[in-house]
């Protein structure tokens, strides 16, 4: 796409710049599961809530290890909500820790609701709390959002993305095996729900005020790498959307599968969570310090995707 | 439906018993918006997070006022997440406060994700934290869940509902104007996405271990009162599902519209949030103490729905 200098740089520009700087369009996902942490982080916690201490310490070290290698991290809210309010506090603390390391942060919260309630979600997750002391804390650069409610449910997130210079990734094609159950439901012409949603996303995200200097909108799309054929079709339907691509690694998609989400070597970012986070479990890194395993797994991710995308 | 005594009572039985006891199938929604609270709860809070104090005090009084009148409350997570971790702590505290008042509590969280992540959400919102001190706190009796991920995304919630004796309400037809954008997408035979989802919900929720003594499943459905024709169709498609019915009052649906969600005077619960919570703003309760306004609005809700349903 041709750059349009007259436009303000938006979330997409910031993300693409971070990708250029680190040299690979990849993202490490923080999906911490207590039982899979390196042993040193698993002490005897009779109170489950105390596990947040070990999870927090582990995640902070992971962030330090991957920050020189990858442009972005995706923090999966569910694994923190698992521990109630203290877990949410940890999630927000990790968002700030990642920002301190100059990482772009995607909050994988998959929120969605009807208009008035969507506003409250958008404010809570994309604006944060006003304080006389200044900076807002615990707010990621972008979040994931569900499209099931239609345009009035999506609108408040998009509006706040424009106002606060953040991003939104709408769920279009999820990476799980049963994504087909609802998303492949087709109309008389063979168009499927996820294609219909893609058209909606392209339309909502195509607003003049939403598209940045490099031609990409701050409204992106989640497109699973586990469905490369669908990704190619979606690339046509959503030329202005950055694709957030889950499914690589533990979920079975190859680097070549991920490449289908790109156009001219850009426009997407591939996420890997468990294959990096729990690299110490893998035979190929056996006997290694877990930090080294995470580092090598992150480098492998970055290199494989870089090559597959042909950057 | 005919009672089956051999079965264990489930969430649906508990909810139906609570409805019978209070005499009306209604639910008050806690969707607190700081700017709309009675003036006494709106002090000068330069720190937005301090607003949770006023919101908490107000919500606790609302719970005390409505507890003798309605069987259940629905707490809308978005209005608490709005305030970050302290907001989530308040949400959980209000769940416990409502339980202390013998109210059935529905956590309106609309969570959903792929299988492994859905498990973490289900554990966080339906099981809570194990503690050597005993009781789990802050966990509602049922939550709302998004169907977009298909069966493997819904499964973990349903499994935990069965294990922990809780309920799940899957979003089938939302109450907002643009619900049609995605949910009315139709196949060659004219079947729409929400009908397709309804069939999926009926199938998932129909498992022998999920259906209680009165013939209703612990897997229910969200069906907006603003679409009464769709509700009648959905009643046929999901005979074993309890319908959680939003849209009455502030969103414009009448008591008669709500009646479409019932069968034989049962099988649904109608929610009203803003029309009860902010009753003090209404001309008909002008000059009244806000508690009295909430009480009268809750009584009006209960009476109107009771009459429309013909109980």
d(CA A253, CA B144): 31
d(CA A259, CA A270): 9
Rounded mean pLDDT, B80-93? 97
Structure confidence by residue, pLDDT tens digits, A131-170: 777 778 999 999 999 999 999 999 999 999 999 999 999 9
SS3 A287: coil
E-strand spans in A233-297?
Answer: 243-245, 268-272
Structure confidence by residue, pLDDT tens digits, A169-185: 999 999 999 999 999 99
Confidence label for B212 from pLDDT (cuts 50, 70 and 90): very high
- Check if the beta carbon of residue A215 is closer than 8 Å to that of residue A240: yes
Answer yes or no: is pLDDT of B308 > 70.
yes
Contacts of A120 in chain B (CB under 8 A): 33, 76, 78-79, 81-82
Mind telling me the catalytic residues of A?
110
- Check if the beta carbon of residue B109 is closer than 8 Å to that of residue B74: no
Residues of chain B numbered 9-68 and touching chain A (CB < 8 Å): 31, 33, 46-49
Task: Please state the φ and ψ torsions of residue B173, each to the nearest 5 degrees.
Answer: -130, 110
DSSP state of B242: P
Which of A44, A120, A151 would you mutate first to test chain B, the one with the most B CBs within 10 A?
A120
Residues of chain B numbered 114-143 and touching chain A (CB < 8 Å): 114-118, 120-121, 123-125, 128-132, 138
Structure confidence by residue, pLDDT tens digits, B162-195: 999 999 999 999 999 999 999 999 999 999 999 9
In chain A, the residue whose alpha carbon lies closest to the alpha carbon of B174 is A149
B37 HSE (CA, 13 A, CB side): 23
User: β-strand A219-223 against A243-245: which pairing, if any?
Assistant: parallel
- A-B contacts (CB, under 8 Å): 206
Q: What percent of chain B has pLDDT over 70?
A: 98
Structure confidence by residue, pLDDT tens digits, A294-306: 999 999 999 999 9
Does ipTM top 0.90? yes
Cβ pair A120:B146 closer than 8 A: no
d(CA A278, CA B107): 32
The whole-angstrom distance between residue B117's C-alpha and the CA centroid of its chain comes to 23
Name the minimum distance, in Å, from the CA of A210 to any CA of chain B.
21
Contacts of B48 in chain A (CB under 8 A): 129-131
d(CA A45, CA A60): 20
Structure confidence by residue, pLDDT tens digits, A1-42: 556 666 789 999 999 999 999 999 999 999 999 999 999 999
Q: Which CA distances in Å does A64 have to A70, A305, B60? A: 11, 21, 43
In chain B, the residue whose alpha carbon lies closest to the alpha carbon of A188 is B188
Answer yes or no: is pLDDT of B309 > 60.
yes
Residues of chain A numbered 276-305 and touching chain B (CB < 8 Å): none
Name the minimum distance, in Å, from the CA of A228 to any CA of chain B.
18
Confidence label for B1 from pLDDT (cuts 50, 70 and 90): low
Question: Measuring CA to CA, which residue among B1, B55, B310, B27 is closest to residue B169?
Answer: B27
Residues of chain B numbered 177-206 and touching chain A (CB < 8 Å): 177-183, 185-188, 193, 196-197, 200
Q: Please name the member of B79, B92, B197 whose beta carbon is closest to the beta carbon of A84.
A: B92
- Check if the beta carbon of residue B168 is closer than 8 Å to that of residue B112: no
N- to C-terminal Cα separation, chain B: 16
- Check if the beta carbon of residue A243 is closer than 8 Å to that of residue A223: yes
- Check if the beta carbon of residue A38 is closer than 8 Å to that of residue A288: no
Q: Is the pTM of this model over 0.95?
A: yes
d(CA A60, CA A56): 6
The whole-angstrom distance between residue A231's C-alpha and the CA centroid of its chain comes to 16
Answer yes or no: is pLDDT of B35 > 90.
yes
Torsion of CA B258, B259, B265, B269, to 10 degrees: 0
The token duo for A63 is 């962030």
Answer yes or no: is pLDDT of B131 > 90.
no
The whole-angstrom distance between residue A65's C-alpha and the CA centroid of its chain comes to 19
Q: What is the pLDDT of residue B5?
A: 61
Cβ pair B87:A124 closer than 8 A: yes
B252 HSE (CA, 13 A, CB side): 6
The whole-angstrom distance between residue A72's C-alpha and the CA centroid of its chain comes to 8
């Amino acid at each position: 796409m041709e750059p349009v200098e007259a436009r303000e740089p938006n979330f997409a520009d910031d993300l693409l710049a971070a990708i250029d700087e680190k040299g690979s369009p990849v993202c490490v996902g923080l999906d911490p599961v207590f039982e899979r942490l390196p042993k040193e982080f698993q002490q005897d916690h009779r109170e489950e809530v105390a596990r947040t201490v070990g999870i927090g310490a582990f995640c902070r070290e992971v962030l330090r290890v991957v920050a020189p290698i990858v442009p972005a991290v995706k923090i999966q809210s569910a694994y923190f909500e698992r521990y109630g309010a203290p877990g949410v506090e940890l999630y927000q603390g990790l968002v700030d820790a990642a920002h301190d390391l100059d990482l772009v942060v995607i909050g994988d919260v998959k929120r969605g609701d009807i208009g008035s309630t969507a506003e409250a979600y958008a404010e809570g997750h994309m604006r944060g709390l006003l304080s006389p002391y200044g900076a807002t804390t615990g707010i990621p650069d972008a979040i994931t959002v569900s499209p099931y409610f239609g345009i009035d449910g999506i609108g408040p997130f998009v509006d706040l993305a424009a106002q606060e210079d953040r991003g939104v990734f709408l769920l279009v094609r999820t990476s799980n095996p049963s994504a087909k159950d609802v998303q492949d439901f087709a109309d008389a012409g063979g168009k499927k729900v996820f294609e219909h949603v893609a058209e909606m996303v392209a339309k909502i995200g195509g607003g003049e005020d939403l598209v940045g200097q490099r031609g990409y909108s701050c409204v992106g799309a989640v497109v699973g790498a586990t469905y490369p054929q669908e990704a190619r079709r979606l690339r046509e339907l959503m030329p202005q959307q950055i694709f957030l691509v889950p499914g690589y690694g533990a979920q079975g998609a190859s680097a070549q599968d991920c490449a289908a989400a790109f156009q001219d070597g850009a426009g997407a970012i591939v996420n890997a969570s468990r294959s990096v986070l729990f690299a110490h479990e893998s035979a190929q890194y056996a006997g290694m310090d877990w930090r080294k395993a995470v580092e090598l797994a992150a480098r492998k991710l970055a290199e494989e995707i870089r090559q597959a995308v042909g950057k």
